[in-house]
Amino acid sequence: MDKIENNKAWFLVLPVFVIVAISAIIPLMTVVNYAFQDIFSPQDRYWVGTEWFESVLADDDLHGALIRQFVFSFVILLVEIPLGIALALAMPARGWRASLALVLMALPLLIPWNVVGTIWQVFARADIGLGGWLVNALGIPYNYTNDPVAAWLTIVVMDVWHWTPLVVLLCYAGLRAIPDAYYQAAAIDGASAWKVFRYIELPKMRGVLLIAVLLRFMDSFMIYTEPFVVTGGGPGNATTFLSIHLTKIAIGQMDLGPAAAISIIYFLIILTLSFVFYNVMTRMGTGERA
């Protein structure tokens, strides 16, 4: 019997094609267009090959931004992931205390990015900000507008305050999903608290930790709003991360070709590292080699 072909089925997947095309493929291909051509107008454009890529890759400003970006994301993961796990372990498991802790944890996540930036911009000011004033009153010189270390510290602490709760909530959900029998078996087997963490809680949190690491890596690697509001990338270039650098090239200098080239490099770095994180973490501790 011949198979009946019915092309009407294409209509059912059409919405997905349209949405993906508009949201991802068309904007991305526009950037690709700009990255390989010098475009003055739709009629007036010249093929430049890899020229933009060569020039931005040789650019010291980009190197600086890239290094700062990697250091920043690394520090964020190093602080937020262990801190998130520790807080999730310390949170009460049930009762009104658990609800209260969850609400408190969720609060920073509900605040818009630029508002977070504004809060910390004011809070950390050495002259009128409560936090900044207090640190100085303790005898520690602190001014994020002229001290690169202070500027970095402010942005890292702000990000930790803003986003560690996300890690906490993910880990908390992972911990609550562990059946009681595991803890009971460990108690009977005479396992110490550390061994319960190492052999039960940590392996069972693998899935949520993978999500936490990926989200925190991608988000911190793309950070823009908060440092833009707090330090504007300064003092000097001290907190000019990749997005801020990119915006300066694209909007500040209207160098759309180099900006497009940086965008593609930026995108490829995030894609590659997410892929690496995913593969390493799904195999970690399972006795299989990556």
Partner 1 sequence: MAEITLAGLGHAYRPDPRQPSDFALQPMDFAFADGGAYALLGPSGCGKTTLLNIMSGLLRPSHGRVRFDAQDVTAKSPGERNIAQVFQFPVVYDTMSVFDNLAFPLRNRGIGEPEVRSKVEEVAAMLELGPDLRRPARRLGADAKQKISLGRGLVRSDVAAILFDEPLTVIDPHLKWLLRRKLKQVHERYRRTLVYVTHDQNEALTFAEKIVVMHAGRVMQVGTPQELFERPEHRFVGWFIGSPGMNFVPLERDGDGLRIPGTDHVLPDGLVGPGQGRIELGIRPEHVRITGSPGAEGVPVEVERVEDLGNYALVTARLGTATVMAKLSEDAPLMPGQAFLRLPPAWTRLYLDDRLVH
Candidate residues 200, 210, 270, 281; the one interacting with partner 1 per rule CB under 8 A: 200
Determine if 287 is a binding residue for partner 1 (CB under 8 A). yes
Which one of 2-10, 90-98, 177-185, 239-247 is the stretch in contact with partner 1 (CB under 8 A)? 177-185
Identify which of residues 35 and 205 has a Cβ nearer to partner 1 in the complex: 205
- 108 close to 165: Cβ distance less than 8 angstroms: yes
d(CA 86, CA 144): 29
The two structure tokens encoding residue 127: 């002259």
Determine if 95 is a binding residue for partner 1 (CB under 8 A). no
CB atoms within 10 A of CB 89: 15
Number of residues in the chain: 290
Nearest C-alpha neighbor of 243 from the set 113, 78, 123:
113
The two structure tokens encoding residue 130: 């409560």
Closest CB 197 distance from partner 1, rounded Å: 12
- 235 close to 151: Cβ distance less than 8 angstroms: yes
Which one of 28-36, 129-137, 143-151, 281-289 is the stretch in contact with partner 1 (CB under 8 A)? 281-289
Identify which of residues 14 and 187 has a Cβ nearer to partner 1 in the complex: 187
The two structure tokens encoding residue 144: 């994020």
Residues 178-197 that bind partner 1 (CB under 8 A): 179, 181-182, 184-185, 187-192, 195
Determine if 204 is a binding residue for partner 1 (CB under 8 A). yes
Which one of 52-60, 103-111, 174-182, 271-279 is the stretch in contact with partner 1 (CB under 8 A)? 174-182
Nearest C-alpha neighbor of 229 from the set 149, 140, 125, 142:
125
The residue with tokens 């068309």 is: 26
The two structure tokens encoding residue 11: 């209509």
Identify which of residues 113 and 199 has a Cβ nearer to partner 1 in the complex: 199
Site residue total, partner 1 (CB under 8 A): 20
| Residue ranges binding partner 1 (CB under 8 A) | 179, 181-182, 184-185, 187-192, 195, 199-200, 203-204, 285-288
